[in-house]
Structure 1
Amino acid sequence: MRNLSSIIAYLVFLSMTTSCNVQNNAISKKAVYPLQTESFTFIATEREQDGFNYNIEEIKQNGNSWNNPPNFRERKVFVSPKSAPLDSGYKITVTKDELMVTLPAFYGLKDTKTSPSGTIQDMTWDYRLIHLTSSDFTVDKTINKKGNTALTIIAKDSNNPITIKMEVFKDGKTNVVFEPGDQKSTSYAGYVRNKNVIAKK
């Protein structure tokens, strides 16, 4: 009787252990599922700022520290937020045979002007839509020290290869750095999905 009870207890323990392992594996597979298929899409929701969109903050101060009329100083400070939200429709789609990119990018152009009062440097911004379709590309996937999936995609169609670096977190959140061969890189944040699973909205 004692042997029978021991056997039953062992079988119950074995069943619970197997069930937990299966559940953990299922969660793990669901978390990285979009990257285990040949097709997935990165949806961009934010673009990291490089000085394009500025919020204007007015600062007033009493004293003679600024070159304005005495006793009252006022100036406008242009503050750039860390990121800016994007409209829908910006994405990177990877299939077995094709890489498709539709992303916004802003490039700063410096213009230096000299006058009797001194030198003034103006910054203007050029908006461009990155629209890329490639059939000659490679995808390298590794797991980094944080346990996140790191992807390096290189499009080789042009003379200046384009590199896309992606870090996909376990909850589906994704950071992307788009590196044109001859332009400044641009960073984005968003999430990864495919036709069956939306990792994170």
Structure 2
Amino acid sequence: MKKIITIFSIFSVFLFLQNCSAQGKSDPQVVNNLLNSEEFTFYAEKALPYNQDVINIAYSMPNAAAQRIFDLSGEGYSIEIKNKVLDVVMPYFGRTYNPSYGSTDNSYRFTSKDFTLTKTQNKKGNWTVKIKPNDIKNSLQIFIDISKSGSSSVSIQSNDRQPITYNGYVAKNEETEE
């Protein structure tokens, strides 16, 4: 357990440093308004799995780049909070402890209407948002760390899977025609 905590701490520092070097995407006031309204979308650009087996498989593929970060740009993966509804469409790379047999889709794809959202802002103006859906089968928590510029990091922790982290940015929800 101590080894996992140590690895998670080192990985968190890596993500923090990576987010600090990221270019700004939004005005800090826009980001604050989005978080205060509790209606925003996280768009995933990169996935960072913890499972070494997944990383080894990625290394062994022919003509694959040797990296442990999977590029998700343009794939449409997101976490959207709109009208008190949480809509999650995120890929999963890692070990599942309780797989759903007969199903080939083990990613995070669900809609929740019953969830708790808590947010805190530190002295530097960065936000931490914790989301806990109450109406889905498996217990999970979503942590979103958002910088003043809108770049963010999401960590999803579940009781039936290894944790996974995504890097991306938050933005205003897209307007849909009805």
TM-score, normalised with respect to structure 2: 0.65
1:132 to 103, 110, 114: 110
Distance 2:149 2:30 in 1: 9
Give the structure, 1 or 2, with the largest relative contact order (CA under 8 Å, sep 6 or more).
Answer: 2
**Higher normalized strand content (fraction of residues):** 1
Q: Which has the larger radius of gyration?
A: 1
Partner of 2:146: 168
Alpha-carbon distance in structure 2 between the residues aligned to 1:188 and 1:34: 20
- Which of 89, 106, 119 is 1:102 aligned to? 89
Identity of aligned residues (%): 29
Deviation digits for residues 154-188 of structure 1, max 9, x if unmatched?
Answer: 00113542210000001110100011232111110
- Cα contact 1:104–1:127 (8 A) shared by 2: no
Gaps of 5+ in 1: 1-26, 57-77, 110-125, 197-201
Determine if contact 1:49/1:81 at 8 Å carries over to the other structure. no
How far apart are residue 143 of structure 1 and its match?
Answer: 1.3
Q: Contact 1:163–1:180 at 8 Å: present in 2 too?
A: yes
1:40 maps to 40
2:159 match: 181
Q: How does 1:1-201 map to 2 (within 5 A)?
A: 28-50=28-50, 51=52, 52-53=54-55, 54-55=58-59, 81-86=67-72, 87-108=74-95, 128-144=106-122, 146-158=124-136, 160-195=138-173
Distance in 2 (alpha carbons) for counterparts of 1:149 and 1:184? 24
1:133 is paired with a residue whose SS is strand
